[in-house]
Amino acid sequence: MKLLIISLCLITLGIQAHDIPTLPELLEKNYQASKPLTETHSYITRTVNFVPKSPPFYIDKIYKSGGKIKISTRLQDGTTTAILAFNGKTAWSQDINGQTNILDKSEAQKLRFIAAASNPNGKLSDYFEKIDLAEKTEIVGSDVCFKLNCITFSQYNQMPTTYYISTKDFLIRRTYMISLQQGSALSINSFYLNYKNFNGLILPEETRTDTPQSPVVSRIISVQINPELRDQEFDPPTQANLTSGKNFIQEP
């Protein structure tokens, strides 16, 4: 037992003394580890998602360069229950009844941030204005991780996010953020497991997210690289009400 305690103490000392790279070095290593293995301008990911005591549901995420994104949620029978989309200027949603709404500025900023973070060719410094590298590493599961505290550029206007990047392969193992929803601050803690090469994209096969409402487990079903996507795919249906200028994002 004494030997075990001493060994654990030595391990802890080793973790605390882990060499911390400079911030530019770490950001570059993360980019090199996660960048596509083939030139990628667009992609579609499909995931199956599980929450306790509920049937699984499916999420299709469609991304195209230029900051365009469309996220659709489906039931097992194929029924689309919700759509969220951003075409680079306008954010909109559609419910299960086909009712389309143009989202307000704060929701548009959120989707704009998701689109920026979904860019497979992007770096953290592309959408975070301030990034602080902690002096000590932390443990996430079985990984020793560097810790980054990040603040977005003003055009995204999101709450600060903390990233935990593995010292082994420089891929993200955990994120922690606060999300404002209907006036309430909700903590969202996500863990990224089993990174794989999906047709040239390096993605976690499984993501586990803890939220105040319920834990969610997401697993990738398929990834399609460089599908032909028209820009109109991300535009709101023509019947949507485009009356309020506050619903549009102005380019910085």
Q: Could you report the per-residue pLDDT of 183-194, keeping only the tens digit for each?
A: 677 889 999 999
Three-state SS at 113:
helix
The label of the residue with tokens 């097992």 reads 76
Residue 35 lies in a domain: no
Beta strand segments in the chain, E: 42-50, 57-64, 68-74, 80-86, 91-95, 100-102, 128-133, 138-140, 143-152, 161-166, 172-181, 184-198, 201-210, 216-225
Q: How many domains does the structure of the chain reveal?
A: 1
Alpha-carbon span 36 to 86, nearest angstrom: 23
pLDDT of residue 238: 75
DSSP 121: T
- Nearest CA to 147 out of 158, 163, 127, 167 is that of 163
Residue pLDDT, tens place only, 76-121: 999 999 999 999 999 999 999 999 999 999 889 999 999 999 999 9
CB atoms within 10 A of CB 148: 22
CATH of the domain at 78: 2.50.20.10
Residue pLDDT, tens place only, 34-52: 999 999 999 999 999 999 9
- The proportion of the chain whose per-residue pLDDT surpasses 70, expressed as a percent, equals 86
Residue 222 lies in a domain: yes
pLDDT, the chain, mean: 87
Residue 120 lies in a domain: yes
pLDDT of residue 182: 66
Range of the structural domain that residue 87 is part of: 40-247
pLDDT of residue 18: 59
Alpha-carbon span 222 to 114, nearest angstrom: 20
